[in-house]
């Protein structure tokens, strides 16, 4: 699959686009992407995925063979197929920078383009922004729980496919993880790599001590040794033995890894064995289905853990596998639009988010307003694309990560908890309330 | 990213492989992939993803630029880099065909190759098999709940990335879905497409009736019209009006779609309005965060629904975002191996699954045995790859789907429920128990 293939979309985007072309409905449309409600497990979100969205918008097109395939469906006129052949995204985009703290009811991104263009890009745009924001938000919770302890992304294998694995590593790094085990993500984004050893390495040797010794001898930097293949106490004692044997070795044993059992209890036992054996400088690394709740509980209980490998719960956001988000038509041909069903009504028109801070430097209030309304506070949406070309070039990933760190520092104290916090700090402006009142008076 | 890049792996696969090369540990290893425990929300699994695994194993390699990147990490000797440059998978694979019903504790796939090769492919192989099996299993539950009603995959946008979206459509189709909205999946796999229209199409028009009329007029096959943008009753009345206007139109209104509200109540209201308006032939299609539990509840309550669009809960398997699976070393250099920690012990050696059926044609018992043990029943693992080349060519997807249908018919009645069923039908053979006893007597 071509990474920017226009066929990575929902079928109705193509059938609606066909109708728009046939009807000549190509006036300017404004769509906005945002999250509607947050589940009780999330007090905030970290905006993420903009870089991939801009890349998509710059390059999305139909190849000639894709056009032929579409023609064979007999669902499109030749005139429409010709339009698709020339299709490019030529619109404008405003967005929050990646790593920005945000909340439900806020637009993270606004697309302004001809109706067919702005509508068509919905499916992939949502696909990219939803997943990375989901994972960055989960990762930020892990970081809140872990304090200054090291966090590594170990979730490649059960991430939902290749792209998920790579983008999860990126999103987690932005939100405060220190490293990833995902080699492709490291290559693409320059994320530091981390890794230990697998149980199979131990099992392939006749004895555990042989396996540990062989690994140390054949690696070229400091290693983390797995101690739970047979029994954790015995494994740790073998590591102590090995550390004594190899005091002159250039390769140090940096840590031991516990991947099973009651991690808190085992960490205490392992720490004791290491300390008594004169290995106070060897760290304790734990993994095995860990999430932010377990990290918090382990550290609260005083477990002597230095680093966490977080896998499946991170890359699948397992407690909340998806968030309620939407890409909504806000305005068409100069008129604001809104959905008005009893169940899902929306805030219409072009919008902006204004953030106000308290004396403590933390967020006091976000105001969502009409884009041209005068409201105090820092504007969160700024132009990133003009006429289909980027006007914003993403800073290096380490800088995005730093921005995210500075954002999380501004999170209201009450929302820093892993438990469900009070209401979000988002208010709707007077102007936006007024606009809704006017639109609700209109009959359809 | 190259789809078959060898860098799509965990870092420790490369560091372990380097040690294996340095140590000359290249005897034959046997690894098996399977699921360890099923959560209470899953009584069975549908094996899926083999096709992509075989494709990966046939093509995985390091490009020269990847080798250069690895060299720059300064973690590998030149001798190891030379081995990576020539790396190809040249082993044997046994597997269950896609669409096969399976359970916890059963191997779905067995790899036999030199230790570095067999170990290295773990991460991507798990990544491919886990996700598609997860989704096929979720989809099969939707099919059990939906009976003969139509099921469409609408989950592209919130699937975890592009690959997840495409493979979810494939897995769902195998497990009994009728169609997908994912155009790229339709193109790659020939899955029937389905789609309706979005709320934005309605909102972009001045009135709802104008929008519906314009859509019908510009489409070339039967359409499904969305009725919940403003109010469902009014929307449905407009559809009735439109159906009367267009009795001579070649394009028929096949269905109306309800995407919000209390779907059961609304379906009754909509059905009544359609029937009274002489539109008994227009179907009712529902969507909006539906999963198998809601499908079952809606149909149990007698809601007059003809078709379901299942989105996010399907493609993210939202109630169970990941399953507990592993790719385990079973044998190395002719000796069976097992992990033996208190928490995760495994069944060693090369294994086979034998399925026995009752008089009703349903599964009576699965026996997991040593591969060379004589046990009655149909053997589920068969050879699919020899010397790194496929010896098995997947049948067309419709045939895989048919196989899956025939498999689900053999599911023990007690496991057909969406609720947690009794114990699985899996037994461990006498030979395998004996082997474990022998290995547990060995000291490490």
Strands B389-390 and B382-386: antiparallel
Judged by average pLDDT, the poorest of A420-424, B59-63, B262-266 is A420-424
So what's the pLDDT on residue B343?
57
pLDDT of residue B437: 87
In whole angstroms, give the CA distance from residue A198 to residue A257.
Answer: 10
Q: Is A229 close to B16, i.e. CB distance below 8 A? A: no
Q: Is the pLDDT reported for residue B345 higher than 70?
A: no
CA dist., res. B334 & res. A33, Å (int): 57
A237 touches chain B (CB under 8 A): no
Q: Do A341 and B230 touch (CB under 8 A)?
A: yes
Look at phi and psi of residue B20 and say left if phi exceeds 0, alpha if psi is from -120 to 50, else beta.
alpha
Query: What is the pLDDT at residue B341?
Result: 62
Cα distances (Å, whole numbers) of residue A349 to A228, A352, A370, B395: 58, 10, 7, 51
Helices B122-146 + B292-300 axis angle, to 10? 10
Question: Nearest-CA distance from B79 to chain A in Å?
Answer: 13
Ordered by start, the domain boundaries in chain B are: 24-51+92-135+329-440, 144-315
Residue A444 has pLDDT above 80, yes or no: no
B84-94: per-residue pLDDT in tens? 999 999 999 99
For residue A240, the distance in angstroms to the closest alpha carbon of chain B comes to 16
How many CB pairs (< 8 A) connect A and B?
Answer: 324
pLDDT of residue A1: 67
Over residues A142-201, the pLDDT tens digits come to 999 999 999 999 999 999 999 999 999 999 999 999 999 999 999 999 999 999 999 999
- CA closest to A163 among chain B residues: B161
- What average pLDDT score do residues A231-245 get? 96
Question: Which residues on chain A are in Cβ contact (under 8 Å) with B314?
Answer: none
ipTM of the complex: 0.97
Please check whether residue B254 touches A, CB under 8 A.
no
8 Å CB contact between B348 and B435: yes
Mutation target among B211, B341, B442 for the A interface, most CBs of A within 10 A: B341
Predicted confidence (pLDDT) at residue A279 exceeds the cutoff of 70: yes
- Give the model confidence (pLDDT) of B379-406 as tens digits: 999 999 999 999 998 899 999 999 999 9
Residues of chain B with Cβ-Cβ distance to A218 below 8 Å are: 18-19, 22-23
B419-441 residues labelled b (16+ CB within 10 A) or e (exposed): eebeebbbbebebbeebbeebee
Which runs of consecutive H residues, i.e. helices, occur in A115-198? 115-120, 122-146, 162-174, 183-189
Out of A207-211, B86-90, B185-189, B422-426, least confident range: B422-426
**Predicted local confidence at residue A439, as pLDDT:** 84
Tell me how far apart the alpha carbons of residues A425 and A103 are, in angstroms, rounded to a whole number. 8
Task: Give the least confident one: A90-104, A241-255, B118-132, B379-393.
Answer: A241-255
Model confidence at B346, in pLDDT bands (50, 70, 90)? confident
Least confident of A240-244, A381-385, B421-425: B421-425
Which residues does chain A have within 8 Å of residue B165's beta carbon, measured at their own beta carbons?
Answer: 8, 127
Q: Which two tokens stand for residue B287?
A: 């969507």
pLDDT tens by residue, A9-56: 999 999 999 999 999 999 999 999 999 999 999 999 999 999 999 999
Token couple for B221: 């096959």
Q: List the A28-37 sheet strands across, edge first.
A: A335-336, A324-332, A28-37, A107-114, A92-95, A382-386, A389-390
| Confidence band of B443 (pLDDT split at 50, 70, 90) | low
- Distance, in Å, from the CA atom of A419 to the CA atom of A416, rounded to the nearest integer, reads 9
Radius of gyration of chain A (CA): 26
pLDDT at A169: 98
Give the closest residue to B346 by CA, choosing from A229, A204, A202, A234. Answer: A229
| Greatest alpha-carbon span in chain B | 84
Residue pointed to by tokens 């047979």:
A230
Cβ-proximal residues to A160 (8 Å cutoff; 6+ apart), any chain:
A315, A316, B131, B159, B160, B161, B163, B164, B168, B316
CB contact under 8 A, B119 and A14: no
Contact B115 A204 (CB under 8 A): yes
Q: Is A92 at the interface with chain B, CB within 8 A?
A: no
SS3 (DSSP) at B219: coil
Q: Which helix (H) or strand (E) holds A314?
A: helix A312-315
Task: Kindly state the DSSP code that residue B367 receives in the 8-state scheme.
Answer: E
Determine the average pLDDT of the residues in A329-333: 96
Average pLDDT of the residues of chain B: 95
% pLDDT > 70, chain B: 98
How many CB atoms lie under 10 A from the CB of residue B64? 8
Return d(Cα B122, Cα B409) in angstroms, integer. Answer: 32
Query: Would the CB atoms of B7 and A158 count as touching at under 8 Å?
Result: no
**Pairwise CB contact (< 8 Å): B160 & A157:** no
How far is B209 from B207, CA to CA, in rounded Å?
A: 6
Q: Residue B344 pLDDT more than 80?
A: no
Residue A321 in 3-state DSSP? Answer: coil
The mean per-residue pLDDT over the stretch A86-105 comes to 98
For residues B228 and B261, is the Cβ–Cβ distance under 8 A?
yes
A345 pLDDT higher than 90: no
Give the minimum alpha-carbon distance from B361 to chain A in angstroms, rounded to a whole number: 34
Biggest CA-to-CA distance, chain A: 84
Which class in CATH covers the domain with range B144-315? alpha beta
Per-residue pLDDT at A247: 82
The per-residue pLDDT for B130 is 98
What is the per-residue pLDDT for B353?
Answer: 98
Share of chain A above pLDDT 70, in %: 98
The pLDDT of residue A3 is 66
The SS3 assignment for A250 reads coil
Percent of all residues in chain A with a pLDDT value above 90, rounded to a whole number: 90
**Which residues lie below 8 Å from residue B74, measured CB to CB, with a gap of 6+?**
A220
In chain A, which residues have their Cβ closer than 8 Å to the Cβ of B156? 8-10, 123, 127
Distance CA B72, CA A174 (A): 24
3-state secondary structure of A31: strand
Q: What band does B309 get if pLDDT is binned at 50, 70 and 90?
A: very high
Within 10 angstroms of residue A377's Cβ, the number of other Cβ atoms is 17
Measure CA A1 to chain center. Answer: 23
Name the residue facing B7 among A184, A232, A312 (closest C-beta): A184
Tokens of B91: 């082993």
| pLDDT tens digits, one per residue of B178-207 | 999 999 999 999 999 999 999 999 999 999
At residue A422 the predicted structure's pLDDT band, cuts being 50, 70 and 90, is confident
Indicate the class that CATH gives domain A136-315: alpha beta
Q: Which of residues 411-440 of A touch B (CB under 8 A)?
A: none
Q: How confident is the model at residue B306, as a pLDDT?
A: 98
Q: Do residues A317 and A277 lie in contact, with contact meaning Cβ atoms separated by under 8 Å? A: no
| Token pair 């008994």: residue | B280
pLDDT of residue B400: 98
pLDDT at A252 over 80: yes
**pLDDT above 80: residue A344:** no
The stretch A397-418 carries a mean pLDDT of 97
CA distance B54 to B305: 40
Residues in contact with B365: Cβ distance below 8 Å, sequence separation at least 6, in sequence order: B355, B356, B377, B425, B426, B427
Residue B178: what pLDDT?
98
CATH code for residues B24-51+92-135+329-440:
3.20.140.10
- β-pair partners for A35: A325
Residue A339 pLDDT grade (very low, low, confident, very high; cuts 50, 70, 90) = confident
Q: For chain A, give the mean pLDDT.
A: 95
Is-contact B394 B52, C-beta < 8 A? no
Residues B10-38 have pLDDT tens digits of 999 999 999 999 999 999 999 999 999 99
Residue B238 DSSP code = H
Using the 8-state DSSP alphabet, how is residue B396 labeled? Answer: P
Q: How confident is the model at residue A409 (pLDDT cuts 50, 70, 90)?
A: very high
DSSP letter string, B47-96: ---HHHHHHHHHH-B--HHHHHHHHHTT-S-HHHHHHHHT-----EEEEP
Contacts of A240 (CB under 8 A, 6+ apart): A273, A274, A277, A278, A279
């Amino acid at each position: 699959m071509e990474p920017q293939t226009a066929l990575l979309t929902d079928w109705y985007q193509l059938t609606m686009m066909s109708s728009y072309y046939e009807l000549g409905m190509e006036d300017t449309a404004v769509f906005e992407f945002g999250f509607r409600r947050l589940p009780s497990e999330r007090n905030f979100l970290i905006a993420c995925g903009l870089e991939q969205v801009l890349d998509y918008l710059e390059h999305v097109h139909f190849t000639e063979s894709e056009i032929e395939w579409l023609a064979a469906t007999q669902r499109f006129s030749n005139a429409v197929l010709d339009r698709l052949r020339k299709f490019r995204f030529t619109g404008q985009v405003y967005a929050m920078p990646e790593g920005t703290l945000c909340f439900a009811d806020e637009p993270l991104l606004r697309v302004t383009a001809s109706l067919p263009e702005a509508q068509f890009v919905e499916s992939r745009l949502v696909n990219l922004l939803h997943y990375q924001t989901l994972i960055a938000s989960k990762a930020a919770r892990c970081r809140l729980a872990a304090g200054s302890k090291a966090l590594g992304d170990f979730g490649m294998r059960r991430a939902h496919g290749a792209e998920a694995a790579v983008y999860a590593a990126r999103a987690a790094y932005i939100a405060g993880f220190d490293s990833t085990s995902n080699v492709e993500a490291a290559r693409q984004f320059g994320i530091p790599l981390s890794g230990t050893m697998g149980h199979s390495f131990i099992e392939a040797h006749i004895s555990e001590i042989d396996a540990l010794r062989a690994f140390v001898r054949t690696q070229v930097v400091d290693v983390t040794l797995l101690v739970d293949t047979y029994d954790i106490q015995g494994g740790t004692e073998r590591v102590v033995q090995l550390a004594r044997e190899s005091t002159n070795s250039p390769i140090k044993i940096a840590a031991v890894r516990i991947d099973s059992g009651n991690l808190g209890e085992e960490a205490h036992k392992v720490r004791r064995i290491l300390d008594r054996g004169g290995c106070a400088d060897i760290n304790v690394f734990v993994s095995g289905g860990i999430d932010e709740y377990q990290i918090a509980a382990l550290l609260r209980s005083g477990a002597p853990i230095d680093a966490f490998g977080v896998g499946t719960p991170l890359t699948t956001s397992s407690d909340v596998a998806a968030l309620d988000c939407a890409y909504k038509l806000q305005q068409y041909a100069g008129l604001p639009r809104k959905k008005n069903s009893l169940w899902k009504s929306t805030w219409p028109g072009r919008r902006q988010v204004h953030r106000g801070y308290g004396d403590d430097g933390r967020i006091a209030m976000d105001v969502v307003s009409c884009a041209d309304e005068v409201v105090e506070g820092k504007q969160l949406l700024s132009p990133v694309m003009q006429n289909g070309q980027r006007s914003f070039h993403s800073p290096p990933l380490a800088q995005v990560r730093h921005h995210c760190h500075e954002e999380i520092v501004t999170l209201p104290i009450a929302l820093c908890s892993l438990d469900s916090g009070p209401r979000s700090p988002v208010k709707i402006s007077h102007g936006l309330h007024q606009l809704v009142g006017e639109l609700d008076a209109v009959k359809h």
